[in-house]
Structure 1
Amino acid sequence: MALPPVLELVAPHDARPPQEHPCATGVLPIRRISVSIVSLVLLALAAGFGGGLLGAWMRATPPAAESTPPAAVEDTQTRIRAAVDRVLPNIVLIVAETATGQSLGSGVVVSQSGNIATAAHVIRGATRIEVVLANGDRRPARLVGEDSPFSDVAVLAVAPQGLRQVAFGASAALRPGDIVLAIGADRGLYGAGGAATMGIISATDRILPRSGVNLEDLLQIDAAINSGDSGGALVNLSGEFVGMITSVIRDEGSERSAVVGVGFAQSSDSLRPVVAELIRAGRYPRPRIGIERPDEQHVEITADVANQRRLPVPNGALIVAPAPNSPAVRAGIVAGDIVLGVNGAKVDFDFPMVNLLKRLPRGSRVDLAVLRGGRTLTVSMTAEDQ
């Protein structure tokens, strides 16, 4: 984007030189002397009047706020260093081998038993997972459980020797403007160990749309987040784990970019119970019916999708591959069905099918409004809490 023109204070090179004064002797004509004297008198009066106004304005203007005392700045710096020192050893690099290549991300040690929390998208489709500790040691990891598509949370397990557990903090205590630190593994590009960046809480209780689902209970931050930081830790100045880094939005392809490094982290208050249950049971109870996975079991219908596939509706969930022997299949759902609503709530961009299912209580009955062959029918089933 073109910058506004800078005010030119220097005369251009082709400007005329100042003209010589018409009185070569230095004696001004009488008429000009008179005008000059009048001008001086008026200038003096204006100066006096303006000076009075200026003095009144200065008296009315409140004193400038005092600068932050050096001791307070030093205390903040000390707390930042202490928080980084406390958390950095808890951050690991995750290397996930998939059928199509390699995925790199970060993880946070959350138990002395060797459990590591990370973003589910980091290990999605992994055939082999390895963890690189802060000291450079490499250990094989196994997937304990993951909560997708309802949240971007997964838990791994590795041999626990030498690991340090992070301390959870309360994300509900955070307010916009609070200083936070984003600590990730930095993809291991620059040596063993992670890296820390600093920012503030920009907003709380954010929602981030992804394909077929809206991630909820997010913290928005302005700390720099780099590729490979997904699954890393967001910490407060006490060194407490208050969020897990999940996404960053960049708009680098346009000169009119309006988005610069807007980052998101799953709040610790929403993350902690999911992690605890994954560690305990390997799964978190969700109303799974066999069609909830976006881009695998269903496709979110948008205006573009509707045009491309010549669908009769602009919103909904197009079923493409329901899980065999799932509640949906047993109830009669087939590929090609379009889910328009869940328990009376309409499926649309603001409320995808996944998020409507997420709201349902455990073991509840699910009534789907389904469009099939031009007719709308209700298909009922009981969700499996698994």
Structure 2
Amino acid sequence: MRKSIIVIIVFVLLAAISSVAYYVWLSSIPGSIRSGETSKSQETIEVIDALGRTVKIKMPINRVIITGKGSWPIMTVAYMFPNAKKVLYGLSSSLNSTLFRMIDPNLADKIVPVELSVEEISKAKPDVVILKTTMRSLGDQLEELGIHVVYVDLENLESYVRDLRVLGKIFMDERRGEGLARYYSEWVNSIASMAPPSAERPKVLFLYYSVKGGEVAFNVPGSGWLQTFMVEVAGGYPLSKEAPGTGWNTVTFEQIARWAPNIIFIVTYSNKPSPSEVKERLLRDEMWTNIPAIRSGRVYAVPDDCNVAALGSWDAPGSRWILGLLWMAKKIHPSIFQDLDIKEEVERFYTKIYGLSKADAEKVIAQITGDFP
């Protein structure tokens, strides 16, 4: 009985804390924005979102909320638009990292401790809410309240190009949206054009090493996933193309041994263990000795610039997967891409695309984990 009372008290306290934090955040939104005060201009913009729907939004756009499961990649992309810092609110705490605090010094004021409810979003009176395409149920509820909803996907190059143009309209910087779309497209096309023909490609295993309840699992991405696409563009033969599932596929060591990968890229989306720690374990594990990648030492921990779950991992669909592509190409074909200066490109990304000073960019680069450069 006593334990039950303690649990109830803790639950009530947590609910109270979350409620207070939400109203503190709500009160931090400028009064004119919170009250829904509109500009004299009744100009509207039209966007065609990832679901093919035409959405009309009144200008100016002063308040944008990005929320829902899987929203963090959208936030990382939104911050490539300078105007985003002026209009974003109600962000997930998953974005709270050194990199994004540098990008937006006021980030703490925009973060909410728990995912916003439909009612809380409505009270914030957003001009538009941006959701992942998988969040249709939440979007439908918001639209019933008259709130504009735009869906994005950001899962592959094609959707990135489309969604960057959509975000360019929402953040009132279409020119930048077009420029960013070109940036991603041109790098992908440039790397792909230099990669060797299929017969000369090494077998590459992209491995997500996970630990749950003390049980280790080896996972490979689906054949249509971004990681598989990255390996192929970078000039490798992605063994994950042979996996049957569309999501993460759990595979056995025996399957990995049959595949006999020449190169292994490792992610854990965790610091316990980190990709670098897993790499060292595999290199020392006698059971893995006969795998070609282990024998040659071509096992690499994927870089991470945030060290917060998947937020900073360069294979994830956040903004820096393009840096991951360049890094992979250099690791798979060092002679072909010998003139590609990864550190230079990474610094350029942080300064030109995220607007960091050179000094701040160097601080971020210094804390990148994994096999960088």
Fold shared, TM-score > 0.5 on shorter chain: no
Larger Rg: 1
TM-score between both structures, scaled by the size of structure 1: 0.26
Considering Cα pairs closer than 8 Å and 6+ residues apart, tell me whether 1 or 2 has the greater RCO: 2
Specify which structure has the higher proportion of helix. Answer: 2
